[in-house]
Amino acid sequence: MPVNVGTIDRAVRLLAGAALVGLAATGHIGAWGYLGLLFVGTGLAGRCPAYLPFGLSTCAKPQTGG
């Protein structure tokens, strides 16, 4: 599976996922907060399976000389 998660997208996923997991672990939100682990995983891997069917990518386009 190709890398399809850009730098800013990865940072947002990591922060949001960690926040959700932290809130769930401290009991501030329900167990659904552990879904944040999916955000952390996709942020660390740089790959999002949900983007594939739509052909989406938040990666920067490579610069071409010209």
Q: Give the dihedral of Cα atoms 9, 21, 32, 26; nearest 10 deg.
A: -150
For residue 63, being part of any structural domain is answered with: no
For residue 46, being part of any structural domain is answered with: yes
For residue 44, being part of any structural domain is answered with: yes
Q: What is the rounded distance in angstroms from the CA atom of residue 7 to the CA atom of residue 46?
A: 9
For residue 50, being part of any structural domain is answered with: yes
Q: What is the rounded distance in angstroms from the CA atom of residue 46 to the CA atom of residue 5?
A: 5
Number of domains in the chain: 1
| Mean pLDDT within 8-27 | 97
Q: Which two tokens stand for residue 34?
A: 């552990």
Q: Which residue has the higher pLDDT, 65 or 43?
A: 43
For residue 15, being part of any structural domain is answered with: yes
Range of the domain at 41: 7-54
**3-state per-residue secondary structure call for 10-65:** HHHHHHHHHHHHHHHHCCCCCHHHHHHHHHHHHHHHCCCHHHHHHCCCCCCCCCCC
Q: What is the pLDDT of residue 65?
A: 60
For residue 34, being part of any structural domain is answered with: yes
- Confidence class for position 1, pLDDT limits 50, 70, 90: confident
For residue 2, being part of any structural domain is answered with: no
